[in-house]
């Protein structure tokens, strides 16, 4: 059976105590923990359940919200327009796997006039880039990177249902990762943004075979198609060959194609000169408006 680890904040929420109390119990060896390469404490859920039973502590099952220090930091960052401080809190929450805390933060930011596309472009994307950098420098394990990504994806999906939607448009859009691509936060965020704006979405997510993409274009004849690639597990030659084939099919079916993702930086400008390229949600959305 897979072992479940939780963060200090989640332990505090489950036992209805402060994080300081959890840390004190740990320092006094009343609670066992492991530390990630990033220095964060993780607790085996079964150990917490046993500890609660032995000490007659009821388990609330509710994760603790953002701490006052974090909220104060975010509030000041909004006032002073210091986005780096907000990114710091997002990164902390993501690496601890605090889905509830991150969702609360996203709600707080959107209620303070941070638009969804700005949240993604200016806060989430830089946060994920930092996670990638720490992983490349061996300061995070693979599971830490996966935990952070999953935490952000979960918080975003919960945020999505709370955001207002514009009137429905009769315009079909396809958003998908390329074949062999599993990093889908960016393209999923774009799908959310476009659906909120009223477009009819076909979202396929990670690792969609180019053959399936091509068949969808022929069948659905979408007005726009967005393909994301960060580090697809296919050869560069195969990627370019497939994109050119998809581009031709788009042209034959009056569909406009846009590409996005860091993988595109591998190629010289002439290889992709025929295609529109976006580095942000803002650029992708302006592609439709234009």
CA-to-CA distance for 96 and 26, rounded, in angstroms?
17
| Residue 61: predicted pLDDT | 52
Q: Which residue has the tokens 């490349």?
A: 136
CA-to-CA distance for 214 and 41, rounded, in angstroms?
46
> Is 63 a member of any domain?
no
Q: Are 221 and 172 in contact (CB under 8 A)?
A: yes
Question: Does residue 60 register a pLDDT over 70?
Answer: no
Among 222, 220, 190, smallest CA distance to 205 is for 190
> Is 60 a member of any domain?
no
Question: Does residue 290 register a pLDDT over 80?
Answer: no
Residues 74, 48: one domain?
A: no
pTM across the whole model: 0.76
Mapping DSSP onto H, E and C, the string for 266-288 reads HCCCCCCCCCEEECCHHHHHHHH
* Size of the chain, expressed as the number of residues it contains: 290
* Residue 174 dihedral angles phi and psi, to the nearest 5°: -110, 130
> Is 122 a member of any domain?
yes
Residues 201, 258: one domain?
A: yes
Residues 138, 187: one domain?
A: no
Question: Does residue 62 register a pLDDT over 50?
Answer: no
Q: Are 13 and 60 in contact (CB under 8 A)?
A: yes
Full domain range(s) for residue 122: 68-160
Residues 179, 237: one domain?
A: yes
DSSP class per residue in 185-196: HHHHHHHHHHHH
Distances (CA, A) of 265 to 180, 182, 229, 236, 272: 17, 18, 10, 12, 10
Q: Which residue has the tokens 């990504």?
A: 149
Count up the domains in the chain and report the number: 3
| Residue 63: predicted pLDDT | 46
Mean local confidence (pLDDT), 144-172 = 93
User: pLDDT per residue over 209-265, tens digit each?
Assistant: 999 999 999 999 999 999 999 999 999 999 999 999 999 999 999 999 999 999 998
CA-to-CA distance for 176 and 186, rounded, in angstroms?
10
Among 288, 284, 266, 281, smallest CA distance to 125 is for 281
Residues 199, 156: one domain?
A: no
Q: Which residue has the tokens 């788009």?
A: 250
> By percentage, how much of the chain surpasses pLDDT 90?
60
Comparing 44 with 73, the larger pLDDT belongs to 44
| Residue 96: predicted pLDDT | 87
> Is 62 a member of any domain?
no
| Residue 17: predicted pLDDT | 81
CATH of residue 26's domain is 1.10.1660.10
């Amino acid at each position: 059976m897979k072992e479940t680890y939780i963060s200090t904040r989640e332990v505090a929420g489950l036992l209805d105590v402060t994080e300081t109390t959890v840390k004190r119990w740990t320092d006094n060896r009343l609670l066992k923990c492991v530390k990630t390469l990033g220095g964060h404490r993780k607790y085996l859920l079964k150990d917490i359940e046993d500890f609660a039973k032995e000490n007659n502590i009821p388990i609330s099952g509710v994760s603790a919200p953002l701490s006052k220090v974090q909220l104060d930091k975010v509030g000041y960052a909004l006032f002073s327009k210091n986005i780096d401080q907000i990114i710091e809190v997002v990164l902390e929450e993501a690496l601890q796997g605090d889905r509830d805390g991150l969702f609360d933060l996203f709600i707080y930011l959107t209620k303070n006039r941070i638009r969804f596309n700005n949240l993604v472009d200016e806060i989430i994307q830089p946060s994920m880039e930092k996670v990638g950098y720490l992983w490349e420098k061996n300061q995070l394990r693979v599971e830490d990177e996966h935990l952070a990504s999953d935490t952000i994806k979960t918080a975003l999906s919960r945020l999505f249902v709370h955001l207002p939607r514009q009137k429905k448009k009769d315009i079909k859009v396809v958003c998908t990762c390329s074949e062999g691509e599993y990093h889908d936060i960016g393209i999923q965020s774009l799908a959310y943004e476009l659906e909120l704006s009223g477009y009819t979405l076909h979202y396929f997510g990670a690792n969609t075979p180019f053959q399936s993409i091509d068949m969808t274009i022929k069948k659905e004849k979408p007005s726009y198609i967005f393909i994301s690639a960060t580090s697809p597990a296919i050869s560069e030659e195969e990627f370019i060959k497939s994109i050119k084939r998809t581009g031709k099919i788009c042209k034959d079916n009056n569909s406009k194609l846009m590409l996005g993702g860091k993988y595109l930086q591998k190629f010289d400008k002439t290889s992709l000169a025929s295609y529109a390229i976006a580095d942000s949600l803002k650029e992708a959305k302006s592609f439709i408006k234009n």
